[in-house]
Each structure stands twice: as C-alpha cells, then as structure tokens.
Structure 1
Amino acid sequence: MKSRTQRSIIVVVLTLVVGTLLLLFFLQRPGLVLVLRDQQTGKVLASIPVEEGEQLTYRWIHSAEFIPWIEEFTIQKDGSFRLNTIKVAGFGAGIPENKGVTSVKDGMVVMEQLDQVFGKIRWIHSQTALTSITVGDTIFITGEDVPHHIPVELTIEGVGTIWPRYPLTK
C-alpha cells in the first residue's frame, strides 16, 4: 500500500513539473525587446517588443545649432542597431560632413547608405533635446518620459525569453 501511495505522489509531482515546463514553453514570446535602461542603476525605464527589420527612428534637436536631427536605424536579428540614414536641417558643430551618400531632400541634408552597426546606444538624456524615439509608427519614448540628465542605454534584448512590457517611469 505504501509503495502505491509513493508512486502516486511521484506521478503527481512529475505531472506538475512537466505541466509547468510546458506552460512556460507556450507562454514564451520569442523575439526581440527594445530596452531603455538607466546606466548607473540598471533599472529598466521602458521596454517594448520589436522585430528584426523594424525601423527605429531617433529624433532630437541639436544642442548647439538647435536644428532637427533624425537618425534611422534597422533592428537586427542579433540585437544590434544598423544606422542607415541621418537627416539634419543644416550643418554645424558635431555634424558629420562626409558620411555615406549625401543629398538634400525636403530642406534636410540626408546622409544615406551609412551601414554603421551599434550594439547599444548610450547618451546623457535631455528632456529638451530628445523629441522622440519611435519603432515603426509607435512612439517608444519622448524626451519628457525619462528623467533629465541621467545616463541611459538603449539595447535590444530578450531573444526567446519571457519579457514583460515595462511602463515608462517619470
């Protein structure tokens, strides 16, 4: 009788373990996640699921020239950012003058075919300089969404893991 009870307990435990593992497997959302993190604390400030090939657009105002600056990246399968295009409303301090193929379109200097790859993007955040970071047509963050003058880091993470969407913190 004791042996039968022990076998029943073992079967129940194994069933629970296998069931839990199957549940975790089916709850996984394999894919990439764009993550904005405080560099000093490691705290996740915002995250959003993304896909390989999606366009990430970083819009900001140049701090010395006060002109719009737009950078367009493609999200890569390996978790990197491929810089394809820079659009700037003029030239001045810190603006590259010999990148890729340069033309003027709609009043903006456009540098295309840049093909530069970045594993992460780091900056000291400015609520007044950053206009927005978007993925496709979705606004990921605006300048006001993140505390002023903190060092932040933008990465792509989470391949094949369960990754919750973090709300923005203000």
Structure 2
Amino acid sequence: MIVRKLGRQILILLLLIFISNAIMLFIPIKQALVFEYQNTGKVLAYIPFSKEKNFKIKYTHSIHLSDVVESYTVTKEKRIKQYELMYEDFAIGMPENAFDGEIFEQKDGKYYIKNMKRIFPLFDLRIGKVRANHRVIYKNKEYQLADYLEAGTWVRIKIKKISLFQQLKGVNILEQ
C-alpha cells in the first residue's frame, strides 16, 4: 500500500516536471531580431538582444555597386524604427533629399539622411544572390547574412520574443 502511494506520488511529480519543462520550452521569453522564412513564422536565424537595441542592414546597391547602410532601432512598442540612411551615389533607387523633419547631409563623399522616424512592424528582404552581399551589423560587428540564410531567400525581419524551442531550431547569428 505504501509502495503504491509512493509510486503514484513519483508519477505525479514526474508528470509535473515534464509539463513544466514543456511549457518552458514553448513560451516565448527571449527578445530578438528575427529572420523568418517568408511569412510562415518559421525562425531561420536570429540575433538575441541585450541592452543594445540598434542594428544596421548593409548591402551593395545593384546598380551603383556602392554600399548602402540602413540604421534601425527598436521602439518601446517593439517596432522597428529607421533613423538613418547612408549611401554613396545619387542615382536610380536612392533618395535625392530628406522628407519633412529629416536632415540631409553630405560628408566625406557620402550622403546621409538623418533624424528619420520611419516605423515598421516588420520588413521583408530577399537575400541577394549576386551583388547585394547583405550584412547585418550589431554591436559594431558585421555578419554576412548569406552565411546563415540561403541566397535568394525571402525573409521577414521583425522584433519578437522567441521560445527556447525556436532558439534551438534557428541559428543564433552571434554564436556562429
């Protein structure tokens, strides 16, 4: 009788441990810059955020073959705010001036649009196959996106909390 009661208690304890581990595995807890496969929600890669909430996307313009750098920060509402754009050539596909409230500057042969307040819940990007050489810059370090994501892949970039399971399935760009 005591053995049976003890066995039942152990079984209940093991079941509670299993359920709590399963819950911890699937509850989103870590805020990250996430690269999802198209619009499926499947996390391909991510950058876990610490206190630093700024990042940049750098690429080679397909026509000018010069670098373009888009600078972003994360808002309190967990949206993506573009606050600066840097480019080297005035031509097709590049702005010729700043919008209201923005500042246009030319410095050291480069053009800057500063004080931008363009806010997005997310944005889409197709990883370049030939020239684009997309990179993400986080904490002043560049990461080649083609090292983590297949060239030609359409990714959706957003800020979201991810679960331990998603972290295990995706690629932590900072650890590669």
Regarding TM over 0.5, the answer is: yes
Seen in structure 2, the aligned counterparts of structure 1 residues 13 and 139 have a Cα distance that, compared at 3 Å, is: farther
- Is the Cα contact below 8 Å between 2:36 and 2:155 reproduced in 1? yes
Task: Give the whole-Å Cα distance in 1 for the aligned partners of 2:16 and 2:47.
Answer: 30
- Is the Cα contact below 8 Å between 2:127 and 2:151 reproduced in 1? yes
Letter in 2 for 1:149: G
Q: Secondary structure at the match of 1:115?
A: strand
Task: Give the whole-Å Cα distance in 2 for the aligned partners of 1:131 and 1:145.
Answer: 11
Task: Give the whole-Å Cα distance in 2 for the aligned partners of 1:158 and 1:101.
Answer: 33
128-137 or 107-116: bigger deviation? 128-137
Unpaired runs of at least 5, structure 2: none
TM-score (norm 2): 0.74
Task: Give the whole-Å Cα distance in 2 for the aligned partners of 1:109 and 1:73.
Answer: 17
Letter in 1 for 2:36: R
Shift of 1:10: 3.4
Q: Does 1:7 align with 2:22?
A: no
Task: Give the whole-Å Cα distance in 1 for the aligned partners of 2:21 and 2:139.
Answer: 33
Q: Which residue is 2:48 aligned to?
A: 49
Q: Does 1:157 align with 2:160?
A: yes
Unpaired runs of at least 5, structure 1: none
TM-score (norm 1): 0.76
Q: Which residue is 2:31 aligned to?
A: 32
Shift of 1:42: 5.8
- Is the Cα contact below 8 Å between 1:130 and 1:143 reproduced in 2? yes
Q: Secondary structure at the match of 2:152?
A: coil
Letter in 1 for 2:33: L
53-62 or 73-82: bigger deviation? 73-82
Q: Which residue is 1:141 aligned to?
A: 144
Counterparts in 2 of 1:13-92, with a 5 A limit? 13-20=11-18, 21=20, 25=24, 30-39=29-38, 43-51=42-50, 53-92=52-91
The number of residues matched between the two structures is 164
Q: Which residue is 2:112 aligned to?
A: 110
| RMSD (Å), alpha carbons | 3.1
Counterparts in 2 of 1:124-135, with a 5 A limit? 124-127=126-129, 128-135=131-138
Shift of 1:139: 3.5
